[in-house]
Structures are given as structure tokens and as C-alpha cells.
Amino acid sequence: MNDVERMLQRALVRHADEAPRSGQLLHRLRGRARRRRQRQLTALTCGLTVALCALVVGVQGGLADPSERAGQSGASPLAPSTPALVYLTLAPGPVTIDDYAPKPTRPMPGMKQQATIVAAGVPMVLYASTTGANAGMSVQVSAAPPVRQSTAGSASYRVRTHPATFVPSLASDPTKWSLCWQEKPDRWLTIEGFGPVVIDDLLTYAEGIAPVRVPFAMPFAFGLTPSNLIVDDASASWITFRPGNVAPGGVAESKLAVLLDERLPEAPGGRSVQVGQRPGVIFTTGGTTMLSVSQRDGRAITIQVPPNIGVTEPELIRFAAGIRVTSAAVAGKG
Amino acid sequence: MRANFEEFVVARGPALLRFAYLLTADGYLAEDLVQEALLRTHRRWSAVEHADGPEPYVRKAILHLYLSWRRRRSSTETPVADLPERPVPDHLADLFAERDEMWLLLRQLPRSQRAVVVLRYYEDLADADIANLIGCSAATVRVHAFKALKKLRAALESNTETQLVSTETTP
């Protein structure tokens, strides 16, 4: 080794100590993995959500409050504007989601049922590939046929006695396929997915699906209900409520969210508060107010209140104190 | 995340971060590369865990991410043209300055040469192993190393001459 090589080695050894510390590496990795999964979930449901937004807006158009209808008409799920401030109103009573949902009775080869969620107010069942292939699909029931820009290349089949249309490449996203049929006069079933699919397997699976009215297994029981907000998204780990002036499936930053975390999140500049019998911490990040309440098992309920939803701190604490974790809940983790 | 994956991250995280930092000379970017490489590894953990062990796989991922990152941003990077001047030092200060000078010079090397230098002189890998990691031949590794050392030596000699002239002309 010559002099330059020795100098080089000394410099590398010395500067290696300036590398970032690894104390937070695992924590940040979990957060990044969780954000990535949420993005993948969003990508999976995006097609159906967008296709159904017009439909759901139409259904929501029958809302009793005319001011909500006025607010909705100006909102777009694709280009959200800054919604007007809505003050949170709390009322006693539980939050329930009781709607038609697909009930699969047969397995789909190469796929595993992963979760039942609610997206843009509509329950759907999600599947992921079991073979490591880049594939997945979702199944949902709607009151009207999904809006399709084009059905080029589509093929006709039958699911039980119902005519069904298979579109191998959607106009909105050419990487996705869909199978859709009308089960009842007011019930349409749609299976949408990406990645390789065997049509015979898909049709056999579809034969076993029936739309049934089942309550969604809520991750939380609410003592107080945000009475002027509408349930928008829900999974085993979170539930979001949107004001009437935010379109269904709108950006998460405009919705009140209640989440279950594995533990109390980091709360830079946070302030300790008492929420019922439990300790909590309240803090603000990026204009969003966060209240996290530690549970007996170490997990934490976190409520995110965006700037377009007004609520006083005592009201927020009152709302949080009435929330209980159900047995259906699964903490979001990395 | 699986327990053995988390154990791996806790145990080998510091070494991976040091490796990435030496490649990038940027703490934030180093952590970003390591996180991305670990996430990719996590997706294939079953296969990676039972092959040659996860660490070579993660290091390879970091390396490839670094090389592609450099390619994407090479047009916007501004190399350091001039090294900072320093007074004629005593022995200890000279030693530190020499290392910092070397660090600055290292940042000016092309990505592949810097990767070879880090793998050879910090990770202490043989040329054949470096070639396997980078995806080239051992001869190419030797060429990269030769060119890197030549550049570093030329730059060091040039700086020394400049300082000597500067010292002689100072009243």
C-alpha cells in the first residue's frame, strides 16, 4: 500500500464516524413501509374510487342539508380545492357502516383475501398475490354500473345467469382489468385488478360472490359521533370522516381521521393532556392537530384534525374520550 | 415486519449507514439509500435470508441505488473546483487537514471510481468481490482503482505545490 492509499484509508475510516446514527433507523423504516403500503392500497382502490365518485356524489346529492349539496358541487375528487371551514358537531350514538358488500365464497387461485375496507364510502374486499407476482384485485358492490370511458377489447361472459363484461385493459389505467355484471336491478358487482389473471379462474371465483347487506367490522366504537361528517374510508386500522364540502375519496388531508397505532407516536413539541382516564398528548404538525391517547395495552388512538375542520380542544378531548378500540382493530405498523 | 429482519436492521444498520455515507458523503441521502435498500430486501426476505445472507444483498442494493442516483443527478451536481487554502500546519493539524483534503478530493471522483475506492479501502474487499457487487469484471475494477488513485495523487501534488509557492511568496 502506497502513501496515497494509506491517506485514503485513514480519511475513509475517520469520515465513516460522521455517518448518521442508526437509533431511529428501524422506526423510520416502519413508517416508510407503512406509507408505501398505504400508497399501494390507494393505487389499488384509485381506479374504482374515481369511477364511482360520480356515482357516489350522485347518491350523496340526496343529502338533507342543502348547504352540503352546494359544497359538494364545487368539489372535485381529482383536484381538491381548499374546503371551507366546518366546525365539528358531536352527538351521542355509535358510528356504523351498514351497506351492501361483496361476500366471496370461493377462493381465487393465486390470490389471498387481505382486507375488507371502505373507500369513498363504499365497502370493498381487497386481494393480494400469494405468489409474489405483482398482482392484486378488489371486489365491490355499487348501486349503478361503474363509469367506463371505453370498453375496447372487452369480452362477454356469464356469471351464473348474468351477462358479464371483461375488460382486459382499462382506459383509465391500461395496466388494470375488470369484470363487471349486474346482479340485481340496483346492484352491480365489479372485480378490478392488475397483473396476470386467468379468465376461467376469475369466472369461477365470480360465480361464488353474492352481494349481501352486512355491517362493516369497525375498528373503533364511538361514544360520540361527528354528526355533521360522513364516513369516507375505513379499514381495520383507521376510519376517516369527511365534511360535506369534501368529495368522497378526497384527499386525506381534508378529513378527520381516527387511527390505531402500535404505540404513542413521536410528538415534537407535544403537550400532555388527560383524556378520560387515559394519558394523551396533543400537538400540531403541518397545520393538522393531532391528539394521541395511550391505551392500556400500549397501543394508541390518534385523532388527526385537519385545518378545514374546526374543533375546540375540550371538544376534541371529549370526542377522544368516547372512543374504544374493538376486537376487529389491527394497529397500523411498519 | 419480521423479527429476524428487525434484528438484522438493528445489528447491521450502523455498518450499512457508514457504507452509504462514505459513498454519498451526505447523511440524509445515506439514510434514504439504506432505508430504500432495506425495504427492497424486506420484500424478498425469505429468499435473501436463506441464500448468502442478507448483508451482501443489502450492500448491493445500496450500491446500485447510489450508482443510479448519481446518474440521475449528475447533470445538476457541481463538483468542487478549488480546495480551501490552509496555512502551513504543524504535524497533527497537517494530518487532519490531509484527511479532509482527501475527503474533498474523493467527492470529485466519478461514481464508479468512488464506489471502488470505498469497497477496496474501507470494506477491504478483493477486486473479484467488488466486481461481483458492481456487476463488472475484476479488470474493470482495477482500472477504476488505478484511475482514482492517479487522480487523487495528481490533485494532492498540485495542491502541495500551490501551497509551497504561496508559502515562499508570503513575506
In tens, the pLDDT along B89-144 reads 344 344 445 557 788 888 888 888 999 999 999 989 999 989 888 888 889 999 99
| pLDDT score, position B169 | 52
Mean pLDDT check: name the lowest of A59-63, B35-39, B143-147: A59-63
Q: Is B20 within 8 Å of A19 when comparing Cβ atoms?
A: yes
Instruction: Report how far residue A100's alpha carbon sits from residue A92's, in angstroms, rounded to the nearest whole number.
Output: 25
The amino acid at A110? G
Averaged pLDDT for residues A75-87? 57
Partner residue facing B9 (CB), from A10, A18, A26: A26
Confidence of residue A76 (pLDDT cuts 50, 70, 90): very low
* Residue B45 CB neighbour total at 10 angstroms: 17
Instruction: Report how far residue A256's alpha carbon sits from residue A267's, in angstroms, rounded to the nearest whole number.
Output: 18
Say if residue A18's pLDDT is above 60: yes
Q: Please tell me what DSSP assigns to residue A319.
A: H
Residue in A closest to B106 by C-alpha? A8
Confidence of residue A263 (pLDDT cuts 50, 70, 90): confident
Helix axes B111-121, B127-134, angle to 10 degrees: 140
Identify all chain B residues contacting A18, using CB atoms and an 8 Å cutoff.
Answer: 21, 27
Instruction: Report how far residue A153's alpha carbon sits from residue B142's, in angstroms, rounded to the nearest whole number.
Output: 55
Average pLDDT, chain B: 75
Q: Is A39 an interface residue toward B (CB < 8 Å)?
A: no
Q: Is B102 an interface residue toward A (CB < 8 Å)?
A: yes
A3-12, A57-66, A134-143, B109-118 — which one is most confidently predicted on average? B109-118
Closest CA to B152 of B123, B117, B120, B112: B117
Identify all chain B residues contacting A12, using CB atoms and an 8 Å cutoff.
Answer: 22, 106, 117-118, 121-122
Question: What does each C-alpha distance from A87 to A142, A308, A333 come to in angstroms?
Answer: 31, 8, 31
Confidence of residue A115 (pLDDT cuts 50, 70, 90): confident
Q: Count the residues in chain A.
A: 334
Question: What does each C-alpha distance from A171 to A47, A148, A174 come to in angstroms?
Answer: 10, 8, 6
Q: Is B164 an interface residue toward A (CB < 8 Å)?
A: no
Instruction: Report the gap between the CA of B43 and the closest CA in chain A (Å).
Output: 9
Q: Is B3 an interface residue toward A (CB < 8 Å)?
A: no
More confident of the two residues B38 and A149: B38
Partner residue facing A20 (CB), from B30, B99, B106: B30
Confidence of residue A314 (pLDDT cuts 50, 70, 90): very high
Return the residue matching grid coordinates 358510528: A95
| pLDDT score, position B90 | 42
Say if residue A308's pLDDT is above 80: yes
Q: Is A84 an interface residue toward B (CB < 8 Å)?
A: no
Does residue A210 sit in helix, strand or coil?
Answer: strand
The backbone region for A43, taken as left when phi is positive above 0, alpha when psi lies in -120 to 50, beta otherwise, is alpha
Say if residue A72's pLDDT is above 70: no
| pLDDT score, position A176 | 84
Q: Is B149 an interface residue toward A (CB < 8 Å)?
A: yes
Asked whether B13 and A30 are in contact (CB, 8 A), the reply is no
Say if residue B83's pLDDT is above 50: no
Q: Is B17 within 8 Å of A11 when comparing Cβ atoms?
A: no
The amino acid at A25? L
| pLDDT score, position A284 | 84
Say if residue A1's pLDDT is above 80: no
Confidence of residue B157 (pLDDT cuts 50, 70, 90): confident
Average pLDDT, chain A: 79
Q: Is B156 within 8 Å of A4 when comparing Cβ atoms?
A: yes
Instruction: Report the gap between the CA of A116 and the closest CA in chain B (Å).
Output: 21
- How far is residue B67 CA from its own chain's centroid? 11
Instruction: Report how far residue B165's alpha carbon sits from residue A259's, in angstroms, rounded to the nearest whole number.
Output: 67
Residue in A closest to B154 by C-alpha? A4
Confidence of residue B80 (pLDDT cuts 50, 70, 90): very low
Instruction: Report how far residue A209's alpha carbon sits from residue A138's, in angstroms, rounded to the nearest whole number.
Output: 12
Residue in B closest to A333 by C-alpha? B1
Instruction: Report the gap between the CA of B93 and the closest CA in chain A (Å).
Output: 14
Instruction: Report the gap between the CA of B28 and the closest CA in chain A (Å).
Output: 8
Confidence of residue A136 (pLDDT cuts 50, 70, 90): confident
Closest CA to B7 of B40, B51, B36, B42: B42
Q: Is B142 an interface residue toward A (CB < 8 Å)?
A: no
pLDDT for A191-242, tens place per residue?
988 888 899 999 999 998 877 777 788 899 999 989 889 888 888 888 999 9
The amino acid at A305? V
Partner residue facing A20 (CB), from B31, B117, B118: B31
Confidence of residue A140 (pLDDT cuts 50, 70, 90): confident
Q: Is B42 an interface residue toward A (CB < 8 Å)?
A: yes
Confidence of residue B44 (pLDDT cuts 50, 70, 90): confident
| pLDDT score, position A222 | 92
| pLDDT score, position A48 | 53
Structure ipTM? 0.75
The partner residues of A278 in beta bridges, in order of sequence, read A275
| pLDDT score, position A17 | 83
Q: Is A11 within 8 Å of B153 when comparing Cβ atoms?
A: no
| pLDDT score, position A82 | 59
Selected residues 67-96 of chain B with any CB under 8 Å from a CB in chain A? none
| pLDDT score, position A151 | 63
Confidence of residue B81 (pLDDT cuts 50, 70, 90): very low
Say if residue A71's pLDDT is above 50: no
Identify all chain A residues contacting B38, using CB atoms and an 8 Å cutoff.
Answer: 29
Instruction: Please give the model's pTM, rounded to 2 decimal places.
Output: 0.48
Identify all chain B residues contacting A25, using CB atoms and an 8 Å cutoff.
Answer: 9, 13, 17, 31, 34-35
CA angle B47, B51, B53 (to 5 degrees): 105
Return the residue matching grid coordinates 477504476: B144
Confidence of residue A301 (pLDDT cuts 50, 70, 90): very high
Instruction: Report the gap between the CA of A49 and the closest CA in chain B (Å).
Output: 27
